[in-house]
Amino acid sequence: MRVIIHRDAEAATRAVSAFFAEQLAAKPASVLGLATGGTMEGVYAELIELYRAGKMSFAKARSFNLDEYLGLPADHPQTYRHYMDERLFRHVDFPPNATHLPDGTSADPEKAAEDYEALIARYGPIDLQLLGLGANGHIGFNEPSSSLGSRTRIKTLTHATIEANGRFFEDGEWQPHQALTMGIATILDARSVLVLAFGAGKAEAVAQVVEGPISARWPGTALQMHRHATLVLDEAAASDLTMRDYYQWVQANDG
């Protein structure tokens, strides 16, 4: 696992956008794996700016998102489809019907999960998979105790994840406790994986994922088995790492 440490989240975010620019320049018809959450907002803002500057195009690309809540109506502002439409898709040039998320409104979510896995297999493998890292080590919605061989499926969210995501919902509003998510084995099928973690609240998870034993207790540790996994951190998220001389520290004048 390659570990790159930047001075702050802003510098790290710029670096991540450069990974995407390089991927699409090398392979315009790339299959991209995308993620949601606060960490990703800056990344998508950077991608939009690169697109508007004529430095990036998604015109031949296709995307698959990691997950979607179960039970929210399609027009709910907290669906991940809405998140992606507002923060990326409607601002760039993805072709029609080229952006995919699991169907969180399906009357048969188990079949929806199977269909999503089949769709990834049809168009994949995913060339570049973007991931966040939960404070409990989850990737996608693969919470602690998830099978490291799991595929796209229904997953019940932990109380910690529900609480962390509660800030996006109105007081008293019903909040989903389940989601459809790519499984860990699905994620590991990607040709390359790019993981972001910012802030001291992610430091323990980062240390476990990079230096700890592979364990379902910390699902992100499965990435140690990936041949092309890169973890992009700010200094706060890297603060619990012990093999500090081994990692790539980007100097303060990085850009």
Could you list the active site residues?
67, 136, 138, 143
CB-count burial class (<10 Å; 0-12, 13-18, 19+) for 144: middle
Cβ count near 254 (within 10 Å): 14
Return the closest-CA partner of residue 130 out of 216, 64, 209: 64
| Contact indicator for 211, 247 with CB cutoff of 8 Å | no
Cβ count near 121 (within 10 Å): 12
Give the side-chain half-sphere CA count within 13 A for 45. 9
Place of tokens 């031949």: 60
3-state SS of 112-124? HHHHHHHHHHHHC
Rg (CA), the chain: 17
